[in-house]
Structure 1
Amino acid sequence: AGKKYLDSLPQPPKDGSPKDNAAWWKGLTDEERAALVSLRPDAVGALDGVPSAVRDEANRVVFDETRARQQLELNSIPKPPANEWTWITAGGYPAKVHTDEWMEWHRKYGDRYEYLNKSLHGMQDIQKRFDATGTNGLPEAYLLGFSAEGDGRAIVANGNPDTADHQAVYVPGTTSDLNGIGGDVDRMVNLWSAARSEADGKTVSTITWLGYDAPDDVVKDAPFEHYAYDGAPAFTRFLDGLEASHSGDTPPHRTVIGHSYGTTLIGAAAEKGTLNADDVVLAGSPGVKVSHATEMDVPKGHVWNEEAKGDAVPDIGRWGHGGDWFVIPSDPEFGANQLTTDTEGHSGYWNPGSDSLKNQALVVTGNGADAPLKPPPDPWAHVK
């Protein structure tokens, strides 16, 4: 009976664009909307162009059901044996090896046990962000996408992007997955706090977009470009969805931000499609597949780059993801605005209180012209 009723409801447009999805949703009655969220939360929550509040409601249903189901499954698995290790003599020397009991447990349950623990850890971190709403003025969180399949997917917004004057969408890089989503969510919490101070009273929404399969390993996976090109269409649709669902009086100012391999995905999206953004910020970029800032599909002068002292990724990554002649955004010939940084290494760009974070906040709030830039390199430095 439930299936028959569901089939009788207006279905989302097949392979619809975000604009198509938005028009479909607007054409539904309140009863039809409530039924679809209740009966097909997975489908509604995944539709770019549907209002963010609706996607959040639907995805939280999926989130809660997934979390409960996985916790029950984990509880049903026997705990790993306490006697994991033993000593044997091999070639006359003592050697530490797994016990037969532990090896048998690992054969039966090990992979699934590890997957469930990692998945639930990520969901716990997302729940922490939900629970932090109101702390230090932090706005409501919106779950704009969620799946625990494979490495997992999660799209988490601070504040409602549909009503925000400024939107920032952050794409994390290599090794990003549901298990580690907490760190990426925290980065956008830090950016939201910094941007609020620069927004002159206007509203800001910062979004962590883990909507693609990121490379799992720096050495074995990150050198390959297919992760970027495979994920780029979903990113483009998400940005178009933000455009279609926005309900403010004026169009929002939208910034896309990439870290590490996330910048490569943004470059692939700009190269292969239309990047629906006003500004691009690249941090620790190994290359964006294109050779010049004018190829990033944003207005001239609106590509910004950060490379911190001691960040080895840009120079190593250029050989796999640089443009012509291995050009990367940190090179003068790329043509990006080189923002100053006061952090070190590959992962400090969102440290609270840092200039690296403040400069991003200036760009996100449309005040990039006020952000300090690094002086151009001295062409005669080698002579001096």
Structure 2
Amino acid sequence: MKPAEFQEAADGYRAASDMASAAKDTVENQISAGIRNQLKGEAAGAALRELKELGKDFHYAQTECALAGTALNGFAYDMAAAKRKLEAALEDARVAGCTVGADGSVTFPAGGEEVDGKVPEGGTVSASASSTDATANAIEQQAIHQHPNPNFGKAIGFANRIGDALKEAADADAKWAPKLRALKADDDLVVSGRDWTDVKSDTDGVVKGADAYARSLPKPPKDGDPELVAHWWADLTDEQKAAYVSLHPDSIGAMDGLPATVRDEANRVVLAESRAGYQDKLDAWTGKEPDRYAPYISPVTGREVKGARIETEEWKEWNRKKEALEGRIRGMDAIQSRFDRTGTDGLPEAYLLGFDPEGKGHDGKVVIANGNPDTADHTGIYVPGTGTLLPDIQKDMGRGEILWHETNRYAQGQKVSTITWFDYDAPLQAKPFEKGGGLFPEAMSDEWAAKGGPGLSHFLDGNLEAHRMASGNTHLGHTTLMGHSYGTTLIGDAAKSRVWPEGALPVDDVIAVGSPGMQAKRAADLGIPQGHMWAEQGGGNDAAVRIGGKYLAGLGDDWTIPTDPEFGANIMESDAGDHGAFWDEGSTSLRNQALVMAGQYDKVTLE
């Protein structure tokens, strides 16, 4: 019944978690990054492999120690509630003139009206929890009414309250003891997928047990308003912040307005747990492979054709699910690969600002930054277009890295962050009958952009608030929002989704690359200031995308797209040979994008 001791232990585990976090960051973002940036060869490669495993150890220790601290705080909270009840019962018994023994028994004094010339004697009752049995309670009440000493009834009440408090404490002990024992790690230095599966199980157990403790924490704003979220987080204590991250990493990682460091910490846990979980699913599914081939039955004769075999429908369905699982794992490994490239050619640390293996429409969700956007002087946010999926996210993350390198070249020593934002259900097909589609591909409809636009708008508000909190509202930096192909349509819908008093999108510049239309006739209709709307066009199939969006899909308003003079954009020079070549290294198109992101407007070359 000493909750303070467990709170002190929780503080110790939280401190250990913080130390492991700092060690992980040092290993991954300083030591390993330094080796990648300066050293080559077998020795460097071997060192990096060992350091990667060490970083995994620290990450696992960070997560489990934080969870242990939260579990101990949950236990202490339950024990504190029981202790308060016990202390209240003891104090009330003392005031009533009763004495409580070490075993919880209550001795009451003589009292009441004289019987046969004597005041009814005092006595002692044993501590026992209140009964839930109606008959037993009735018998107890009858005994109290029949007893000549009124202090007897009081003592019974005190004894029951003491018994209830002790039972509550015993129940808390019984509930938390196995959960705390479950946090014991394997006795090795290899962090495997099984370990992260165990972390997920541990977390679920602690969440269930810490229900009362969690309810005591200050609640986040119900509507998720980024400004309110930012201030809510700033007002939490270190213990409360640690509790939220350890209990609900998925929710915290997805919360716009929180610091990039916090979202990254939470989402890396979600990534590790998801990677382990999907590997378990794949292993289990692989073991269920049905026969791939069956004899071919002629539709003419109805007889088996000797030597001819065909793939079974059962196997095809099994293989489709297997490939889907493999694809999601491939996407998750691509994210980890980005973490592992920190330091290569000066590439800064990565921040995973959003992750969900399923996401909206089962496409997945990846929001990843190169460099910390909260402290950057220049932030570029790239929105990909049609066909974007978690399994193939490497391409779009790669474009974010290319943009960082190029923008950093022109930033004159200022800090740069580039973000790949993929948090919408992107259309799957851009051509008729492509990828299982019909005559009218999904990219011809604004439906996907209309649904995804508000999410992008919300993220941008969160990006602004996180930067505002980090800078003390003294330097909000320069932000550029860039979309490619259908991503530009989504940007248009994001701008149109804003209502009073939100105002325009909280960005300084907008770049539309290979745009089929932004659901507006003029940049001004989207709240984009004159001179701060930019556009690029390419050759080859890029013309088909722009013309198709303009005349067939109607993604521009009144058949107007950003590269039309009447839209009001600065049309930048571009040497992109096709729809996907805007980020070719050394290209004019890439250079102009970077100059806008670095705020070097006077150096941008226009058509």
* TM-score (normalizing by structure 1): 0.92
Moved more, 32-41 or 1-10: 1-10
Matching residue's letter, 1:73 = K
- Are the equivalent residues in 1 in contact too, given 2:485–2:513 (CA < 8 A)? yes
Shift of 1:36: 0.7
Tell me how far apart the structure 1 counterparts of residues 211 and 478 of structure 2 sit (CA, whole Å): 42
The correspondence of residues 146-225 of structure 1 with structure 2, limited to 5 A, is: 146-149=355-358, 150-219=362-431, 220-225=441-446
Corresponding position of 1:282: 512
Corresponding position of 1:377: none
In structure 1, list runs of 5 or more residues that go unmatched: 375-384
Corresponding position of 1:259: 484
Matching residue's letter, 2:605 = P
SS in 1 for 2:558: helix
Tell me how far apart the structure 2 counterparts of residues 52 and 130 of structure 1 sit (CA, whole Å): 15
1:309 aligns with 2:539: yes
Corresponding position of 2:52: none
- Are the equivalent residues in 2 in contact too, given 1:305–1:329 (CA < 8 A)? yes
Structure 1 residues 276 and 159: alpha-carbon distance in aligned structure 2, compared to 1, 3 A threshold:
same
Shift of 1:322: 3.9
Matching residue's letter, 1:30 = D
- Are the equivalent residues in 2 in contact too, given 1:296–1:303 (CA < 8 A)? no
Corresponding position of 1:78: 286
Matching residue's letter, 2:335 = I
Task: Give RMSD over aligned pairs.
Answer: 2.0
Matching residue's letter, 2:374 = D
How many equivalent residue pairs?
A: 371
Shift of 1:117: 1.1
SS in 2 for 1:157: strand
- Are the equivalent residues in 1 in contact too, given 2:516–2:556 (CA < 8 A)? no
Structure 1 residues 52 and 318: alpha-carbon distance in aligned structure 2, compared to 1, 3 A threshold:
same
Matching residue's letter, 2:484 = H
- Are the equivalent residues in 1 in contact too, given 2:328–2:390 (CA < 8 A)? yes
Tell me how far apart the structure 1 counterparts of residues 307 and 404 of structure 2 sit (CA, whole Å): 52
Corresponding position of 1:104: 314
The correspondence of residues 7-86 of structure 1 with structure 2, limited to 5 A, is: 7-78=215-286, 80=289, 83-84=292-293
Matching residue's letter, 1:265 = L
Corresponding position of 1:318: 550
Corresponding position of 1:382: none
Structure 1 residues 114 and 370: alpha-carbon distance in aligned structure 2, compared to 1, 3 A threshold:
same
Of residues 119, 131, 136, the one that matches 2:340 is 131
Structure with the bigger RCO (C-alpha within 8 Å, sep 6+) is 1
Tell me how far apart the structure 1 counterparts of residues 291 and 585 of structure 2 sit (CA, whole Å): 41
Structure 1 residues 314 and 26: alpha-carbon distance in aligned structure 2, compared to 1, 3 A threshold:
same
CA offsets, 1:189-224, max 9 Å, x none? 000000000001101100000011111111421111
Corresponding position of 2:35: none
CA offsets, 1:253-276, max 9 Å, x none? 000000000000001112221311
SS in 2 for 1:207: strand
Structure 1 residues 39 and 369: alpha-carbon distance in aligned structure 2, compared to 1, 3 A threshold:
same
1:268 aligns with 2:493: yes
CA offsets, 1:325-370, max 9 Å, x none? 3111111111111111112110011111111111000000111231
Corresponding position of 1:335: 568
Shift of 1:314: 0.5
Structure 1 residues 354 and 87: alpha-carbon distance in aligned structure 2, compared to 1, 3 A threshold:
farther
- Are the equivalent residues in 1 in contact too, given 2:252–2:263 (CA < 8 A)? yes
Bigger fraction of residues in helix:
2
Shift of 1:10: 1.5
1:231 aligns with 2:452: yes
Structure 1 residues 84 and 169: alpha-carbon distance in aligned structure 2, compared to 1, 3 A threshold:
farther
Tell me how far apart the structure 2 counterparts of residues 53 and 313 of structure 1 sit (CA, whole Å): 38
- Are the equivalent residues in 2 in contact too, given 1:254–1:278 (CA < 8 A)? yes
Tell me how far apart the structure 2 counterparts of residues 260 and 206 of structure 1 sit (CA, whole Å): 18
Matching residue's letter, 2:275 = R
Tell me how far apart the structure 2 counterparts of residues 11 and 352 of structure 1 sit (CA, whole Å): 47
- Are the equivalent residues in 1 in contact too, given 2:514–2:579 (CA < 8 A)? yes
Moved more, 316-325 or 361-370: 316-325
Shift of 1:244: 0.4
Structure 1 residues 40 and 355: alpha-carbon distance in aligned structure 2, compared to 1, 3 A threshold:
same
Moved more, 274-283 or 5-14: 5-14
Matching residue's letter, 2:452 = G
CA offsets, 1:143-197, max 9 Å, x none? 0001111110110000000000001111100010111111000001000000000
Of residues 573, 583, 587, the one that matches 1:354 is 587
Moved more, 161-170 or 109-118: 109-118
Percent of pairs with identical residues: 46
- Are the equivalent residues in 1 in contact too, given 2:524–2:530 (CA < 8 A)? yes
Of residues 238, 242, 253, the one that matches 2:463 is 242
In structure 2, list runs of 5 or more residues that go unmatched: 1-208, 432-440, 499-503
Tell me how far apart the structure 2 counterparts of residues 187 and 96 of structure 1 sit (CA, whole Å): 47
- Are the equivalent residues in 2 in contact too, given 1:88–1:94 (CA < 8 A)? no
Structure 1 residues 85 and 289: alpha-carbon distance in aligned structure 2, compared to 1, 3 A threshold:
farther
- Are the equivalent residues in 1 in contact too, given 2:446–2:555 (CA < 8 A)? no
Tell me how far apart the structure 2 counterparts of residues 306 and 78 of structure 1 sit (CA, whole Å): 46
Tell me how far apart the structure 1 counterparts of residues 230 and 335 of structure 2 sit (CA, whole Å): 27
SS in 2 for 1:14: coil
- Are the equivalent residues in 2 in contact too, given 1:288–1:321 (CA < 8 A)? no
SS in 2 for 1:280: strand
Q: Which has the larger radius of gyration?
A: 2
Shift of 1:306: 0.5
* TM-score (normalizing by structure 2): 0.59
